[in-house]
Amino acid sequence: MNKVSYFYLILLAFAFFSAAGHAEDRPVRELKAFLDTTKTLTADFKQVLINEAGDPVQTSDGIFYLQRPGKFRWDYQRPFQQQIIANSGKVWFYDTDLEQVTIKKLDESLGSTPALLLSGEVSLEENFIMEQQGEDEGLLWVKLLPKNEESGFKYVLIGLNNGILGGMELSDNFGQLTRIYFSNVRINQAIRPDLFQFRAPKGVDIFSE
C-alpha cells in the first residue's frame, strides 16, 4: 500500500475517536457510545490488502495506540517494520527498511474531510452518509460514505464487537480494499507519553511535505 493510502487510513481510524454522529439506529448508537467514552485505546491489529479480484495480496500486523486529542501510533511489525506517529498536528511515517522518514501536516490540504474530523469540531453527519450494515463476521457494522467527492476514498466500514472497536474496511479511489481486524483491545488505560514522540534515527533521509 502506498503512503497516500496509509495516510487516509490512519486519519480515518483516528477520526472516529474525534467526532460522532447522532443517528438513531443501533449500530450508529453503539459507535457513538464507544466514541463518547473512549479516551485512550491500545490494540493488536491485522491488516489485509485485497486486490480488485478479491484476493489478499499483503497481510501486516502490529500494535495500534490512540490518545485523544490528537495522538496516535501504528507500529507495523510484520512483514516489514514501519512506524506512523501523529502528535501536535503532524504525522511521521518511518520506514525502517528504506531508512526514510516522511512528515505530513494534519490540515485541510491533506484530504479535507478526514483532517477536519481530527479537530473534533465537525460531526460525522456533516461529512458522511451513515448506513447500518447489520452483522457479519460477528461484528456489527456501520458504513460511512463521504459527502466530499475529493476525500480520497469511496467508503469506510466500522465494525463493533459488543460495543468495542473490532474491525475496519476501507475502499479507496485507487481500487484497493483494506481490512483491519483489532484484538486485545484495551480501553482507557494509561499510555506512556513517549510513545507519541518521534525521534529520527541518525542517518535516515527526512522528507517534509
The residue with greater pLDDT, 183 or 106, is 183
**Which residues make Cβ contacts (< 8 Å) with residue 51, sequence separation at least 6?**
57, 176, 177
CATH number (domain holding residue 126): 2.50.20.10
| Structural domains in the chain (count) | 1
Is pLDDT larger for residue 202 or for residue 149? 202
Average pLDDT score over the chain: 78
Residue 77's nearest CA partner among 55, 60, 58 is 60
Q: What are 133-177's pLDDT values in tens digits? A: 888 888 989 888 888 777 677 888 888 998 888 988 888 777 788
Is residue 110 within 8 A of residue 129, CB to CB? The reply is no
- Report yes or no: 104 and 90 within 8 Å, Cβ to Cβ: yes
What is the pLDDT at residue 112?
38
Q: Which three cell numbers stand for residue 90?
A: 503532524
pLDDT of 107 reads: 58
Higher pLDDT, 112 or 15: 15
> Average of pLDDT values for 100-123?
55
Q: What's the pTM?
A: 0.80
**CB neighbour burial string for 10-32, b if at least 16 within 10 angstroms, e if fewer:** bbbbbbbbbbbbebeeebbbbbb
pLDDT bucket at 5, cuts 50 / 70 / 90: low
Say which residues have a Cβ less than 8 Å from residue 108's Cβ, sequence separation at least 6: 115, 116
**In terms of residue numbers, what domain contains 70?**
3-208
What average pLDDT score do residues 118-142 get? 72
Whether residue 72 has pLDDT greater than 80: yes
Which residue bears the cell 473490532?
166
pLDDT at 48: 92
